[in-house]
Amino acid sequence: MLIEKFLKQAKEEIIMDTVLSDEFMDKVQDNFAPIESLMAYYRCAIMEVETKFNVLNEQFSLQYDRNPIESIKARVKSFDSILKKVKRKQIPFSLESIEENINDIAGVRVICSFQEDIYMLADCLLQQDDVRLIERKDYIKNPKPGGYRSLHLIIEVPIFLEKEKRPMKVEVQLRTIAMDFWASLEHKLRYKKNISESEAEYLAKELVECASISASLDQRMEAIRDRMEAAQEKIS
């Protein structure tokens, strides 16, 4: 027993010495450094896109005395999420493959006041000469079966590094406040477990109905705004 205990302890010490050795840590750092750099590039791309929307919002505030953007949210996918997507899409595990095949590592979500603002901001963004549209999915005009509504754009923007200009992909989602409210709650409710099949089916129908109510609310609020503006024009 003493010999086995000694051998086990010696083995653990060897493993720890190996793991904590400078050589091992250097190898880990060498392999992880390119990943960290890529994630930093995506963060830079997010900053570029956020700036573009902030500039547009500021311009509309000065020119039209209103802000079409309520808020902007941004995120870079965690490395764990990227690995899961690599496995799900069955693509090679390399930085080149990840960049080429995964378009939503960098994400910017723009919450707008009105549905009309979504298309206006999208057009303004895509007219800029350093923005390249890769893919457009309009889930407002064509909602998902579950009720999800949003405008998705995959764009490519340049980031300017010390010695190079690097094109980076960013997914942009544009939603109204009502769309974002529904999507946020639906996301939380979707992962509730221990629900019977019949109950899950009923709740899915309820969520679709809520999405329809949300869409109706967007239309009514936009109609109220238009009527108010028309009334103000008559007075002036």
Q: Which CATH number do you get for residue 49?
A: 3.30.460.10
How many CA atoms lie less than 13 Å away from 6 in the CB half-sphere? Answer: 3
Residue 180 token pair: 């974002």
Give the total number of structural domains in the chain: 1
Residue 202 token pair: 């009923």
Residue 204 lies in a domain: no
Residue pair 56/125 in contact (Cβ under 8 Å)? The answer is yes
- Residue 136 is classified by DSSP as E
| Residue at token pair 């979707």 | 190
pLDDT score, position 24? 46
Secondary structure class of 177 (helix, strand, coil): helix
pLDDT score, position 230? 87
116 labelled catalytic:
no
Residue 135 lies in a domain: yes
Task: Give residue 48's identity as a one-letter amino acid code.
Answer: E
From the candidates 156, 171, 201, 229, give the one annotated as an active-site residue: 171
pLDDT score, position 7? 47
pLDDT along the chain (236 residues), means of 10: 52 50 52 84 97 96 92 93 89 88 96 96 97 98 95 98 94 97 86 76 90 95 91 80
| Cα separation of the two ends of the chain | 96
Residue 196 lies in a domain: no
pLDDT score, position 51? 97
Buried b (16+ CB within 10 A) or exposed e, 20-40: eeeeeeeeeeeeeeeeeebbe
Which domain does 154 fall in, by range? 2-177
Q: Which ranges in the chain belong to alpha helices (H)?
A: 2-19, 22-64, 79-89, 95-101, 115-126, 177-190, 197-235
Residue 22 lies in a domain: yes
Residue 236 lies in a domain: no
pLDDT score, position 5? 52
How would DSSP label each residue in 8-68?
HHHHHHHHHHHHTSHHHHHHHHHHHHHHHHHHHHHHHHHHHHHHHHHHHHHHHHHHHS--S
